[in-house]
């Protein structure tokens, strides 16, 4: 049997963390078993579905690298097929028209609640084709009234639901449009989906969908319901916990690799291993190793993991993602040092690509002002002479190479009988505007001779005009 899994988001918002994890687990399962991964856009909620949300979902899938083999399929393009299946169920006697008004149903629900009964449709129209009331009828599925539905869930184990607990759900609204539980069944059946991997908030839908599939004579897929993701306070993950758009994590400087690694560990484990390559995720992933209990979203752990990826991934891979962030700061990374060298220089101290980009701007364009604290601490009496002598020595060398530059700094400190920091730190502030940068030889190498000399002269002039004038 060829494995066919699917991810079926509703385009009523962005692709969020929970949806991305569902997509990842479905994708991993298909890749693990040589199957096919299908993307289906469940856009039958015409009032809330938007093209903007569709675009956000597709953009998120692309950024994460979760390529799909088939799709995207849109449910709004399949209305004729849904009407055909609804008619089939009506003709078979497995569905019926229901003429009960909204007011009748609300009254029924209120009475059931008052009697501490489970709210459910009472089947008034189930065995009567006689219209009553006004308006167009809905279509309800005639759910079996006896027996049980057994879900051999691949994550939670066997789940048994009595049919008497399930009421006759609506499969077509009064305007003829199909409802979720009908469309998802038809799509899974027509697309040959073998494994439905989704959040456990769908467990209540599964027995109903299985009964519809049985009525249609379709083969049942295998189901795997993933435990929900909770915030640190134990409540269901929401925006206040960080359940923002997947693309917000890109904007905040996270690598897609790190986010995928974090998501796979939200509810799945392989021994004590924390960091996984994508190939390792595919190799080790098993649904039976998915936890039954809910997982807690931990932003600090995600940040730690992102730093691990920044430090240990191929610098060329990091550079490709960093380039976008440099562009967001108005910098063309081709007009300056190679981004790969920037990554090598900055990765130890950068937890996000946003931090790395912000800390690297001075390599590409002049800064507007010096950091006040850095100036106060490092542009002191004698600094002007240190910088002038550095300028003379740097101007005299033909080969701009890190080791030679570092030796010049060391030699000058010895000549002037100064602590190395009294030479290196004023130089760092002069060329970067701050007191924090990569090692001074690396910083100077990346800047190049022309920029370095120009900025040293700028610092000398600044000291003359600002520091010395203030002392006089």
Fold adopted by 366-472: Arc Repressor Mutant, subunit A (1.10.10)
> In which band, very low, low, confident or very high, does the pLDDT at 243 lie, cut at 50, 70 and 90?
low
Q: What is the CATH number of domain 1-72+182-311?
A: 3.40.50.620
- Per-residue pLDDT tens digits for 396-451: 999 999 999 999 999 999 999 999 999 999 999 999 999 999 999 999 999 999 99
Identify the weakest region by mean pLDDT among 29-43, 106-120, 254-268, 298-312: 106-120
pLDDT of 472: 40
Q: Where are the domains positioned within the chain?
A: 1-72+182-311, 314-364, 366-472
The residues assigned a catalytic role are 239
pLDDT of 470: 58
pLDDT of 232: 82
Whole-structure pTM value = 0.92
The CA-based angle 265-249-303, given to 5 degrees, is 55
- Per-residue pLDDT tens digits for 336-389: 999 999 999 999 999 999 999 999 999 999 999 999 999 999 999 899 999 999
pLDDT of 264: 97
Q: Average pLDDT of the chain? A: 94
pLDDT of 139: 97
Residue 431 · residue 443 · CB < 8 Å: yes
For the chain, percent of residues with pLDDT exceeding 90: 86
- Per-residue pLDDT tens digits for 273-314: 999 999 999 999 999 999 999 999 999 999 999 999 999 999
Is the pLDDT confidence value at 175 over 80? Answer: yes
> In which band, very low, low, confident or very high, does the pLDDT at 1 lie, cut at 50, 70 and 90?
confident
What is the average per-residue pLDDT within 24-40? 98
pLDDT of 117: 86
């Amino acid at each position: 049997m060829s494995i066919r899994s699917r991810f079926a988001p509703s385009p009523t918002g962005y692709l969020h963390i929970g949806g991305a994890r569902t997509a990842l687990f479905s994708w991993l399962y298909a890749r693990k078993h040589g199957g096919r991964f299908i993307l289906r856009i469940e856009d039958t909620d015409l009032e809330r579905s938007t093209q903007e949300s569709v675009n956000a979902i597709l953009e998120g899938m692309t950024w994460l690298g979760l390529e799909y083999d088939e799709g995207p399929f849109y449910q709004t393009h399949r209305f004729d097929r849904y009407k055909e299946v609804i008619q089939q169920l009506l003709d078979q006697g497995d569905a019926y028209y229901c003429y009960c008004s909204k007011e009748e149903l609300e009254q029924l629900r209120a009475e059931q609640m008052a009697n501490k009964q489970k709210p459910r449709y009472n089947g008034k129209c189930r065995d009567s084709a006689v219209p009553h009331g006004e308006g167009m009828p809905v279509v309800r599925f005639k759910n079996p009234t006896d027996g049980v539905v057994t879900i051999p869930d691949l994550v939670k184990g066997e789940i048994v639901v009595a049919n008497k607990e399930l009421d006759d759900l609506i499969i077509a609204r009064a305007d003829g449009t199909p409802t979720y539980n009908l469309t998802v069944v038809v799509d899974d059946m027509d697309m040959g989906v073998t494994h439905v991997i989704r959040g456990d908030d769908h467990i209540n839908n599964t027995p109903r969908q299985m009964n519809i599939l049985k009525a249609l004579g379709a083969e049942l897929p295998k189901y795997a319901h993933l435990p929900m993701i909770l915030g640190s306070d134990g409540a269901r993950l929401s925006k206040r916990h960080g359940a923002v758009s997947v693309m917000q994590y890109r904007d905040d400087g996270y690598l897609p690799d790190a986010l995928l690694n974090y998501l796979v560990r939200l509810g799945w484990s392989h021994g004590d291993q924390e960091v996984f390559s994508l190939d390792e995720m595919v190799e080790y992933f098993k649904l039976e190793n998915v936890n039954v209990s809910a997982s807690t979203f931990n932003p600090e752990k995600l940040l730690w993991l992102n730093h691990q990826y920044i430090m240990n991934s191929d610098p060329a891979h990091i550079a490709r993602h960093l380039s976008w962030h440099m562009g967001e700061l108005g910098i063309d990374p081709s007009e300056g040092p190679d981004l790969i060298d920037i990554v090598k220089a900055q990765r130890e101290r950068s937890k996000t690509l946003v931090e790395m980009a912000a800390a690297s701007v001075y390599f590409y364009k002049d800064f507007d002002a010096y950091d006040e604290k850095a100036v106060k601490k490092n542009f002191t009496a004698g600094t002007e002479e240190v910088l002038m002598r550095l300028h003379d020595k740097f101007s005299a060398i033909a080969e701009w190479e890190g080791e030679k530059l570092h030796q010049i700094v060391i030699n000058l400190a010895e000549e002037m009988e100064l602590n190395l920091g009294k030479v290196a730190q004023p130089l760092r502030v002069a060329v970067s505007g701050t007191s924090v940068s990569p090692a001074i030889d690396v910083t100077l190498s990346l800047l190049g001779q022309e920029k370095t000399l120009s900025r040293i002269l700028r610092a000398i002039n600044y000291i003359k005009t600002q520091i010395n004038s203030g002392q006089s």
